[in-house]
Structure 1
Amino acid sequence: MILADFITITPTGLYCVYGDFYLDPQQPVKEAVVSHAHGDHAIGGSQNVYCTAATEAFMKHRYRKFAAVDFYVKAYHQSFKIKEVSITFFSAGHILGSAQVLMEYKGVKYLYTGDYKIEPDTTCEPFEFVKADVLITESTFANPDTKHPLAVEEIKKLNLTNANIMLGAYALGKSQRIIQLLSEYCPTKNVMVHHSIMPFVKIYEEYGMKLGSYKMYDRKVMKNNHEYQVYIVPPMVFHSYHKAINVVRAFASGWKNLQQQNGISLYISDHADWDAILETIKKVEPQQVWTLHGDGKQLRDYFAGKLEVKILN
């Protein structure tokens, strides 16, 4: 029997009372199961953190000695228990080390996706479709009007200009994907990376991800060369230089509002769009869908009378 209260939302985050642990808590807790290392899912300070090896590495870089009291690193497909709940990680395809969390309790399987995408990305492990009774899915872009274009076609837009480009991208995950795409599909570009992004790049390479050609940002190179330079910067730097001269601005994101007032729109998302969410539901074959991190109303309306969709947030 599916337990309606298996996962509940608390001020601290998603809580599983039957295992007495939290999924991606937003405050330090005793038992934290962390799907991936983005700051809105992984914070420092918890006592016991269960995650993949790459997630541990990113958290230790970001939070240093305050990342956790103890880490319990688990490989994909390696089952472990917290109290009476059996837990197994499966790759989520979002960033390196990102995991879906399959929780089994009294014969019922609950699958928490965390953030995910199902499209190919050579800089992280590919998404795995896992059968479950309850699919707890992110719904960031759960809108029929949202269809992410192919990342390869988007990155090729940068070949349409020879001008220098200031390219905004999140430091972890997006930047590494952009470096790889630029290296493969924009070979005439000289890719330079902001210093704050470099440690994450190095961790990716330590885990065997081949990102291609890039260099640490050099102001003199950008100043003396007015063409073919792409400078990848984190959001804070991108927004602080909103009046930067002699560059074309672009920001890699699936959000339309982040494309406004830029010279080039770059719709590259690391989240599932409407079609991807529908495909995931089809292949997981759940009896119920619970939605998080977005608006699940349109999914609920789409499946009305056919599949129970419960909105958790």
Structure 2
Amino acid sequence: MKQPLLAFNDKGIYCAQADVYLDPWRAVPKAIITHGHADHSRWGHGSYITNHMNVPIIQHRLGNINVTGKAWGETFTINGVTFSFHPAGHIVGSAQVRVEYKGEVWVFTGDYKTEEDGLSTPYEVVKCHTFITENTFGLPCFKWTPQAEVMNDVNTWWSQNRAEGQTSVLFGYTLGKAQRLLKHLDPSIGRIYTHGAVENMTEILRPMVDMPETIRITPETKKEDLLGSIVLAPPSAHGTPWIRRMTPYVTGSASGWMAFRGARRRRAIDKGFVLSDHCDWAGLLESIQATGAEKIICTHGYSDIFSTYLREIGYDARTEKTQYEGDEGETETNEQETVPEEEGL
């Protein structure tokens, strides 16, 4: 029986011919990395190969590592297997990995979205025979509102809070979501403050992308300075002593999971904005069709439901288990709903 070009094992997605792993979740000698979120780029590998924009991101997160950066579309060959990185549109530096050997082409998406966000390099369709796709939001109920409408709602919310003399605290993950929000905030409304973790990552990304000015919150920041301003913070800051200095404040959260009824209430959030760094149902289907692939491998998210639907409409589709947890462990669960974890949504 012919060995598949890419196979799933207990360490990650393995290319035996090249003896290299894609986004491995256990330490391996050589790793090809799609993007900087913690579930896809883990510490401990012998060497890392990634898109050049992702290099400073994973160096910031992982420290002193042996990493090589490649340009978009630049090919490199390992034992006869040709690899290249192509934009995934998920966050800055996020890539799909194209793998070719003896005329057979596979594409591993990592995490991806097809809506242009004005920050990430836009998603690129890559033709292939086998397509490995995430399914974080692989249910028909997920249908995203265009980003421009969502960000108009965010800015209107901030403006109203400012008029009422309150500080707006907006939660978004430190890598990806926070910078996407920042990119489209309206500085004419007021000052934009950041939690230290958000500011640290934003400083890493500023040389690559244009974003409005921000002010880091420090122990010296006065409560009266924050009134009417907006504060970008990671969700982990909610309910901590750090946030009390914002009083009086209102909270908002930007996430795909805000599409679920009750998600905002369970998180004790005043306002929810549905904004995801992953494809919705239609985006997944359109992406698959555009690749021309006949074989589809569905990974993390609603993979069982999504792959069943793909088989019903004629694809050779199956699921594979991974240890991708989703964007920095963002999860939305209760007794009625079970939702997979998402990183940076």
How far is the alpha carbon of 1:281 from its aligned partner? 1.0
Q: Equivalences for 1:160-309 in 2 at 5 Å? A: 160=157, 161-162=160-161, 163-183=166-186, 187-207=188-208, 209-217=209-217, 223-225=223-225, 227-240=227-240, 244=244, 245-256=247-258, 259-260=264-265, 261-303=268-310, 304=312, 306-309=314-317
Contact 2:194 2:216 in 1 (8 A): yes
**2 CA distance for matches of 1:236 and 1:138?**
25
- 3-state SS in 2 of match to 1:255: helix
2:135 corresponds to which residue? 139
Shift of 1:98: 0.7
Residue 151 of structure 1 is matched in structure 2 by 147
Q: Which segment is superposed worse, 298-307 or 197-206?
A: 298-307
How far the C-alpha of 1:11 sits from its partner, in A, is 2.4
Report the counterpart of residue 94 of structure 2 in structure 1: 98
Kindly provide the amino acid, as one letter, of the partner of residue 193 in structure 1. Answer: T
In 2, Cα distance between the equivalents of 1:43 and 1:141? Answer: 23
Q: For residues 120-152 of structure 1, give each alpha carbon's deviation from its aligned partner in whole angstroms, at most 9, with x where no partner exists.
A: 111111110111111111110011111122222
TM-score, normalisation: structure 2:
0.83
Question: How big is each residue's C-alpha offset from its partner over 1:70-116, in whole Å with a ceiling of 9 and x where there is no partner?
Answer: 22211110011122321011011111111100001121110101101
CA contact (8 A) 2:117 2:147 kept: no
Q: Secondary structure at the match of 2:63?
A: helix
Say if 2:53 and 2:69, in contact at 8 Å, map to a contact too. no
SS in 1 for 2:37: coil
Moved more, 224-233 or 168-177: 224-233
2:18 equivalent to 1:19: yes
Take 1:113 and 1:235, find their aligned partners in 2: how far apart are those partners? 26
Aligned length: 306
1:164 deviation in Å?
Answer: 1.3
Q: Please, which runs of 5 or more residues in structure 1 have no aligned partner?
A: none
CA distance in 2, matches of 1:239, 1:41: 28
- Tell me how far apart the structure 1 counterparts of residues 239 and 79 of structure 2 sit (CA, whole Å): 46
* Offset of residue 202 of structure 1: 1.8
**Structure 1, residues 251-288: CA drift from partner, whole Å, max 9, x if none?**
21111365333111111110111010011012111011
- Name the aligned partner's letter for residue 319 of structure 2: I
- Partners of 2:108 and 2:131 within 8 A in 1: yes
**What is the DSSP-based 3-state SS (H/G/I as helix, E as strand, rest coil) of the residue aligned with 1:46?**
coil
TM-align CA RMSD: 2.2
C-alpha distance 228-156 of structure 1, shift in aligned 2 (>3 A): farther
1:227 deviates by 4.2
Deviation of the 1:228 alpha carbon: 2.4
List gaps (5 residues or longer) in structure 2. 322-345
**TM score, norm. by length of structure 1:** 0.91
Residue 111 of structure 1 is matched in structure 2 by 107
